[in-house]
Amino acid sequence: MKEAVGILEVYGLVCAFLAADAGCKAGNVRLEYFDKNKPGNAEELPVPLLVTVKFRGAVADVEAALTAAKEKASQVTGVVQSYLIPNPTGDTEKMLKLNAFDKN
């Protein structure tokens, strides 16, 4: 059975770590690699780096993780976007493995 994926984009790396910690404590989930993005309007943002946290597990666990992570991120620098994919396709699975943290 495929695992659901919860995607949460937040402002900054510290916020991402705090949100990931809260999410992992709230549901029986595991993390995929974080991803980062520095958009063109970065200087206008609360923190000039967007970080994506990806939770994997059963749908109910991922939902619980996303809820807790969004609550924690809202207390820090904020949430940009979140989404739950209950049954990702094979191509989506491949894309989840990509991350920009190992790139210069």
Evaluate whether residue 58 is within a structural domain.
Answer: yes
Residue 24: which domain range? 4-96
Closest among 72, 94, 86, 75 to 7, alpha carbons compared: 86
Instruction: Give the residue carrying structure tokens 């992570």.
Output: 69
**The pLDDT value given to residue 103:** 64
**The pLDDT value given to residue 48:** 83
Mean pLDDT of 2-18: 95
40-76, pLDDT tens digit by residue? 887 887 888 899 999 999 999 999 999 999 999 999 9
Evaluate whether residue 74 is within a structural domain.
Answer: yes
Q: Does 38 score more than 90 pLDDT?
A: no
**The pLDDT value given to residue 62:** 97
**The pLDDT value given to residue 15:** 96
Evaluate whether residue 102 is within a structural domain.
Answer: no
Evaluate whether residue 42 is within a structural domain.
Answer: yes
Evaluate whether residue 47 is within a structural domain.
Answer: yes
pTM for this model (two decimals) = 0.89
* Residue 78: half-sphere exposure toward Cβ, Cα within 13 Å: 7
Q: In one letter, which amino acid is 46?
A: P
DSSP letter (8 states) at residue 88: -
